[in-house]
């Protein structure tokens, strides 16, 4: 009986630790949002450069230059999450995100107008993560938030 309880306890702890590996810490969520905003703005700059949006490439380039410290800061927590959750490398993740945004942009009403508005707002906001709610293609957090317990389990 003690053996069964020990095995069951080990399985529960193992499952709990494994599940916690796939949650996102607050810094990782913010980093993912920053990368999502940058990726969506890049897709918009490429897709919306015609018509009344000829300035999109220039606006995007100014956005990237002005927010570069945020993009650099976001890289480490995002890489940490991707490694822990076994989701591949950053380049593959960003490519998959760009593909999803590009695919979904076609079904978003006024994608270019809304992207242009968000890009203009970016210069008024200090942190690009604050733009996530303005993105025409909705942000989807890849994993749930870590709880205090799962964050403690991960740090062991």
pTM (two decimals): 0.80
| Gap between the Cα atoms of 13 and 19, Å rounded | 10
Residue 23: enclosing H or E segment and its boundaries?
A: none
DSSP-assigned beta bridge partners for residue 145: 24
Q: Mention every residue, 6+ apart, whose C-beta is less than 8 A from residue 66.
A: 122, 123
Give the number of other CB atoms < 10 A from CB of residue 114: 18
CB proximity list for 70: less than 8 A, separation 6 or greater: 34, 127, 128, 129
Q: List the structure tokens of 152.
A: 């403690």
Which pLDDT score is estimated for 53? Answer: 83
DSSP structure class, residue 143: S
pLDDT value for 1: 62
User: What is the structure's pLDDT at 41?
Assistant: 97
CA distance 22 to 82: 9
Task: Tell me what pLDDT residue 5 has.
Answer: 53
DSSP 8-state code for residue 54 = T
Instruction: State how far the Cα of 82 lies from the Cα of 49, in Å rounded to an integer.
Output: 32
DSSP-assigned letter for residue 42: H
Report whether 49 contacts 112 (CB < 8 A): no
Mean pLDDT for back-to-back runs of 10 residues, the chain (156 residues) = 53 43 93 97 93 88 96 96 92 96 95 94 92 96 81 48
């Amino acid at each position: 009986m003690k053996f069964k309880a020990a095995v069951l306890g080990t399985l529960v702890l193992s499952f709990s630790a494994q599940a916690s590996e796939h949650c996102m810490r607050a810094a990782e969520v913010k980093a993912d949002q920053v990368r999502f905003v940058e990726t969506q703005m890049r897709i918009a700059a490429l897709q919306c450069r015609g018509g009344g949006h000829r300035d999109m490439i220039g606006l995007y380039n100014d956005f990237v230059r002005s927010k570069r410290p945020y993009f650099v800061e976001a890289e480490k927590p995002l890489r940490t999450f991707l490694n822990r959750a076994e989701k591949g490398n950053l380049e593959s993740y960003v490519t998959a995100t760009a593909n999803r945004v590009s695919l979904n942009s076609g079904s978003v009403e006024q994608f270019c107008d809304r992207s242009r508005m968000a890009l203009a707002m970016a210069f008024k906001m200090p942190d690009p993560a604050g733009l996530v709610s303005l993105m025409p293609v909705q942000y989807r957090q890849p994993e749930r938030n870590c709880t205090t317990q799962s964050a403690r389990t991960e740090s062991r």
